[in-house]
Each structure stands twice: as C-alpha cells, then as structure tokens.
Amino acid sequence: MTIPVQRLQSNARPALAAHFLALPADDRRLRFGSSLAGESIVAYVDHIDFARDAVFAVHDDRLALIGVAHVAFGDDVAELGLSVLPGHRGHGIGAALFARAAEHARNRFVPRLYMHCLVENATIMHMARKFGMDIVTSVGDADAHLALPPASPVSITGEFVTDRIALYDYALKAHTAAYRRINAALLDASAAAAGDKPSAA
C-alpha cells in the first residue's frame, strides 16, 4: 500500500511542534542527538526555513502528524532527519518518508543525501542499511551517505504525481474529520436537548 506523503508549508509549524513534543523523551534524544526541552523544540521548528528546506509528513485520519521528515539543504548535500510516533511504527511510514525525501533532493540536483544519528538509534541505522547508504561510525555517532542519481523527466513527473496524490489524500481526510466533528456536535446538541425536556408524568 502506498503511503501518501505531503510537503508541509510554514503554516504547519504548530502541528510540527506538536509532533516533536509528542515523541517520548528518549525518542527526542535519538531524533535530535540530545534531550531537548520543549522550548528548544519549539525554537527548532520556528527556525526551519521552509523556502530553502523541505518538510514532509504523513497524517493520520484526524490530520495529526504521525511521521515527519526534515530535509535541510547545503551546498552539495541534503541532510535528512526522521521521526515517527511510537504507535505508528512498523507500517512503512519511515521508509515512505525517506523515499520521498530522496526523490525531492534528487530532483533539486543534489548529489548526496546524508543522515547523522547516534549508533544506538537502531531504527535509523536499519533504514540506512536498507536504502544502501554508506555508514561510518565513530565514538557513538554514525554518518550515513547515499549517492543520488541525476534528476530525469521520469523522476520529476513522478514527484509531481506523488504531490497530487498526497493533496487528494489530505483533502479526503480533512472532509472526513470535519464530518466527524459536525456529527459529534449534533449528537451532543441532541443529547443536551433531550436532557432539558421534562420527564413524562
């Protein structure tokens, strides 16, 4: 099953901060390399340059961000950071985010994708090996590099189609979430009205 991955814009900062804050303390340490406090995470999100970098996400049915990839662009490399909420792991979300990030970097003519993590981060180490990254470890840290092929008409068209599918998926989830909210409000109003009626004699 294809997992829709949507590119976020700067108006998603609150949802992005909420995602990172929802990570357990140890997961935050593995994601950021140190145990960041809440205010530091908010500052990190506030400083993301959405015009230069790319942030991708997978939404659940209630539009919460359950997986996020931040691709930060340098001169000849794109650095990737990944996170998936604990209850949603093991379903291919991380792999879908990785593939989407690599596709995006490739189509921006960046020759290398890079990930830095702690060696103990078994999930990211496994993903790096799965995607054929060259890994170098040193004193508890690991650097992983992946050479990206040049962009092609097929890869550029594929990214465009992927974006359209993700937008459609988000719109469908948004409509469904709105319907649930309206339905819940109507049920609450109905229950409240029933409770106000005088009981039969």
- Digit-by-digit pLDDT tens for the chain (201 residues) are 689 999 999 999 999 999 999 999 999 999 998 888 999 999 999 999 999 999 999 999 889 999 999 999 998 999 999 999 999 999 999 999 999 999 999 999 999 999 999 999 999 999 999 999 999 998 889 999 999 999 999 999 999 999 999 999 889 988 888 888 888 788 878 877 877 655 544
Give the integer Cα–Cα distance in Å for 5 and 23: 19
In the chain, which ranges are E strands?
6-7, 54-59, 65-73, 78-84, 112-118, 134-138, 141-147
Domains and CATH numbers, the chain: 6-183 (3.40.630.30)
**pTM over 0.85, yes/no:** yes
Q: What is the pLDDT of residues 68-86, one digit of tens each?
A: 999 999 989 999 999 999 9
